[in-house]
């Protein structure tokens, strides 16, 4: 089993740009597929659940293409899937399975829909019953009431009334609403019983309206799709940040000092889970909000207090409250969360079991959970995640109690947030990235900044130099990328108290030779070598923070660095500095040769295809030509004071 160890932490602060919302991403994809015209979807979430939807749409003949980054173009099929026979595997993606079931049941084809074993334990009977009222022909291939399903062509009764139960999942109502406009005949959907998770239905109605279908409604009881309604592409749409994902970071700010700011959701969001911020405020956290951001910090008095809350309106984000409860005075009671039982796992049972491992006192009922206690260190304990992304993400917060935490199967976060743990780590250990050309003095500056801030220090250039040295010593050609990458992968290097060891012998001086300097620049041009060193570099990021220097610290290795500096000086100034340095070591090289050499190296580092030396757009330029070392160090520390989270600055 794979696992991830989180070091104990007590402080979290910084800014996180959120990934796109899963709920909005998958709804936009289906709407764009069903619409007339072409839709550009910007900032789509790239995660397992969205992949399943993209694959399914492709299998159904929908033409979509990925553009730059997370931007997609979908050519709509105007309500008619061209492919009339398909087998669709939808993993554990409820946001793909339910709406596609509805859309395909009305589309007159032969389809089979299946998922992972857990998907086959998640009920779908309420949706199938509703679709059958319209004449749909759907059969259960396994257990009655559960996927996998077979759908066959059927005569759909136009303009009908259909009743759907609202108590188990709002996704059934959402699925019907999304699919019904494809018949063109209109329909009325009535909800039987209490509708849960209403904010998700709000998202559905809001997005349908953007695609030209306005649903008339009678409160939460009945929804009427007018006859003749059809989806039309609105052109370009933007996916909001994921409000449920925001909850982990905001909770981190509320638990461990803060401030933590999330960008991508805020006051103008259409997602119900932004109301998680109100729950945090009720626990005493200091919360502020703008149109597109939310920020949370710990209560003025320090500790959070327990709440008693009906969580029907924030079912997903409520999981985060259950873990925040470990940091609150008193017993937190979260009610009306029966839907937790039919999600990716039985979240009520799973949450109770894992919180108990952390020393909490937990009471678990049919539709509530009550939690009190502080996270405690229980030797040998590890957190199970039940193939449930939200279990992994919210339980990671427990490390903020200053306890070490082992999270089993952390890759389950791929469902909605593939780089969650990197982002989370970023709040616990900010990075100052200092990039620049050779001999710009960035090494001296970076080391001093790290020392003054009490941060860890990474000299990434030394790693490339070590690869070159190891290759030269082993007689490996510096043109042989594959062999060099193998050397990089298993590089027996250690940094100890200012000395650099290669395979047990001191290489501190040897890697600074001109031969190694030229060699490292050649070695660094191989993508495989760079890839092999990536994980090693990222492992330096540890609390309380890291100063990393090199060529691509801000642009590749630590893209989410809290501060990025591009430190440079004219080639003449750099050659002169290197000259003085060599003279002081008793070596003599002419300035002209050094200058020539620097220029060649600059050209090679800047022109290479992967991670070329460049100032990234969000880096600050620091030209040290006319500056002393002390001035440059002060400049960076001053920027750090302004830009870094408060507690991380000196």
Q: How far is the CB of 442 from ligand DC (least distance, A)?
A: 7
How far apart, in whole angstroms, are the C-alpha atoms of residue 78 and residue 492? 60
**Residue whose CB is less far from ligand DC, 30 or 446:** 446
**Residue whose CB is less far from ligand DC, 390 or 601:** 601
Q: How far is the CB of 438 from ligand DC (least distance, A)?
A: 4
Diameter of the chain by CA atoms?
93
Q: What angle do CA 617, 621, 626 make, to 5 degrees?
A: 165
**Residue whose CB is less far from ligand DC, 21 or 460:** 460
Q: How far is the CB of 572 from ligand DC (least distance, A)?
A: 18
Closest of 41, 52, 132 to residue 100, by C-alpha? 52
Q: How far is the CB of 643 from ligand DC (least distance, A)?
A: 21
**Residue whose CB is less far from ligand DC, 295 or 552:** 552
Closest of 231, 225, 277 to residue 254, by C-alpha? 277
How far apart, in whole angstroms, are the C-alpha atoms of residue 10 and residue 543? 10
Q: How far is the CB of 7 from ligand DC (least distance, A)?
A: 24
For residues 273 and 249, is the Cβ–Cβ distance under 8 A? no
For residues 222 and 188, is the Cβ–Cβ distance under 8 A? yes
- The question of whether 308 is a catalytic residue gets the answer no
| Residue tagged 């009920």 (tokens) | 123
What's the Cα-to-Cα distance from 476 to each of 315, 523, 528, 608, rounded to whole Å?
58, 11, 16, 21
Q: How far is the CB of 321 from ligand DC (least distance, A)?
A: 41
How far apart, in whole angstroms, are the C-alpha atoms of residue 448 and residue 629? 9
**Residue whose CB is less far from ligand DC, 152 or 499:** 499
Q: What angle do CA 138, 143, 146 make, to 5 degrees?
A: 60
**Residue whose CB is less far from ligand DC, 254 or 525:** 525
The secondary structure element, H or E, covering residue 298 is none
Q: How far is the CB of 631 from ligand DC (least distance, A)?
A: 21
Under 8 Å CB-to-CB from 642, ≥6 apart: which residues?
none
For residues 113 and 40, is the Cβ–Cβ distance under 8 A? no
**Residue whose CB is less far from ligand DC, 269 or 521:** 521
From the candidates 48, 126, 316, 560, give the one annotated as an active-site residue. 316
Q: How far is the CB of 93 from ligand DC (least distance, A)?
A: 38
Closest of 199, 225, 197 to residue 211, by C-alpha? 225
| Residue tagged 């002393």 (tokens) | 628
How far apart, in whole angstroms, are the C-alpha atoms of residue 598 and residue 593? 9
Q: How far is the CB of 513 from ligand DC (least distance, A)?
A: 12
| Residues at the site binding ligand DC, with contacts judged by CB under 6 A | 438, 460-461, 464-465, 520-521, 524, 550-552, 601, 605
Dihedral sign (CA 397, 398, 404, 407): negative
Q: DSSP string of 57-120?
A: HHHTT-EEEE-STT-EEEE--TT--S--EEEEE-TT-HHHHHHHHHHHHTTT-EEEEE--TTGG
**Residue whose CB is less far from ligand DC, 296 or 613:** 613
**Residue whose CB is less far from ligand DC, 209 or 607:** 607
**Residue whose CB is less far from ligand DC, 465 or 564:** 465
What's the Cα-to-Cα distance from 92 to each of 45, 52, 86, rounded to whole Å?
16, 9, 18
How far apart, in whole angstroms, are the C-alpha atoms of residue 292 and residue 271? 12
For residues 297 and 285, is the Cβ–Cβ distance under 8 A? yes
Rg for the chain, CA atoms, rounded: 28
Strand positions, DSSP E, 341-430 = 361-364, 368-372, 405-408
Q: How far is the CB of 605 from ligand DC (least distance, A)?
A: 5
Tell me which residues are annotated as active site: 316
């Amino acid at each position: 089993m794979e696992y991830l160890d989180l070091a104990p932490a007590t402080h979290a602060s910084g800014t996180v740009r959120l990934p796109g919302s899963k709920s909005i991403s998958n709804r936009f994809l289906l709407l764009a597929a069903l619409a007339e015209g072409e839709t550009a979807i910007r900032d789509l979430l790239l995660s397992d659940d969205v992949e399943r939807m993209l694959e399914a749409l492709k299998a159904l003949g929908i033409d979509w293409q990925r553009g730059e980054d997370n931007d997609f173009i979908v050519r709509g099929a105007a309500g008619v899937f061209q492919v009339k026979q398909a087998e669709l595997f939808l993993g554990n993606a409820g946001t793909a399975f339910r709406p596609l079931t509805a859309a395909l049941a009305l589309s007159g084809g032969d389809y089979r829909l299946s998922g992972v074993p857990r998907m086959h334990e998640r009920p779908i009977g309420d949706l199938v019953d509703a679709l059958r009222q319209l004449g749909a022909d759907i059969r259960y291939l396994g257990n009655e009431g559960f996927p996998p399903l077979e759908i066959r062509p059927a005569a759909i009764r136009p303009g009908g009334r259909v009743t759907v139960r609202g108590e188990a999942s709002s996704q059934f109502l959402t699925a019907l609403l999304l699919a019904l406009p494809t018949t063109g005949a209109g329909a009325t959907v009535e909800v039987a019983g209490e509708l849960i998770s209403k904010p998700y239905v709000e998202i559905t109605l809001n997005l349908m309206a953007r695609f030209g279908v306005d649903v008339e409604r009678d409160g939460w009881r009945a929804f009427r799709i007018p006859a003749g309604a059809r989806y039309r592409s609105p052109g370009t749409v933007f996916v909001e940040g994921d409000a449920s994902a925001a909850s982990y970071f905001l909770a981190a700010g509320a638990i461990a000092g803060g401030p933590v700011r999330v960008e991508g959701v805020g006051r103008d969001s259409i997602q119900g889970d932004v109301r998680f911020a109100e729950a945090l405020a009720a626990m005493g956290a200091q919360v502020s909000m703008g149109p597109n951001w939310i920020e949370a910090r710990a209560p003025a008095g320090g500790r959070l207090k327990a709440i008693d809350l009906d969580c029907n309106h924030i079912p997903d984000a409520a999981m985060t409250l259950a873990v925040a409860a470990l940091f609150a005075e008193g017993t937190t009671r979260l009610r009306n969360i029966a839907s937790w039982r039919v999600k990716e796992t039985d979240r009520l049972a799973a949450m109770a079991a894992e919180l108990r491992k952390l020393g909490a006192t937990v009471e678990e009922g049919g539709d509530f959970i009550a939690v009190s206690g502080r996270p405690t260190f229980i030797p040998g304990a590890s957190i199970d995640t039940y193939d449930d992304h939200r279990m992994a993400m919210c339980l990671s917060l427990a490390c903020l109690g200053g306890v070490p935490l082992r999270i089993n199967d952390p890759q389950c976060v791929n469902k909605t947030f593939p780089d969650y743990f990197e982002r989370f780590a970023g709040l616990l250990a900010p990075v100052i990235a200092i990039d620049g050309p050779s001999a710009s003095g960035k090494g001296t500056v970076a080391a001093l900044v790290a020392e003054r801030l009490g941060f860890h220090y990474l000299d990434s250039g030394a790693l490339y130099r070590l690869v070159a040295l190891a290759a030269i010593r082993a007689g490996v050609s510096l043109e042989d990328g594959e062999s060099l990458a193998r050397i990089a992968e298993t590089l027996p290097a250690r940094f100890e108290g200012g000395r650099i060891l290669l395979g047990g012998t001191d290489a501190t001086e040897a890697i600074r030779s001109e031969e190694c300097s030229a060699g490292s620049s050649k070695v660094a041009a191989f993508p495989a070598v760079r890839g092999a060193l990536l994980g090693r570099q990222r492992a330096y990021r540890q609390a309380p923070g890291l100063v990393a220097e090199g060529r691509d610290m801000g642009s590749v290795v630590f893209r989410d660095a809290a501060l990025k500096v591009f430190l440079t000086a004219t080639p003449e100034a750099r050659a002169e500095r290197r000259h003085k340095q060599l003279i002081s070591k008793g070596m003599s090289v002419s300035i002209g040769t050094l200058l020539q050499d620097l220029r060649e190296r600059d050209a090679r580092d800047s022109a290479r295809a992967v991670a070329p030396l460049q100032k990234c757009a969000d880096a600050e330029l620091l030209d040290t030509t006319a500056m002393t070392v002390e001035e440059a160090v002060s400049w960076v520390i001053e920027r750090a004071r302004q830009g870094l989270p408060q507690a991380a600055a000196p």
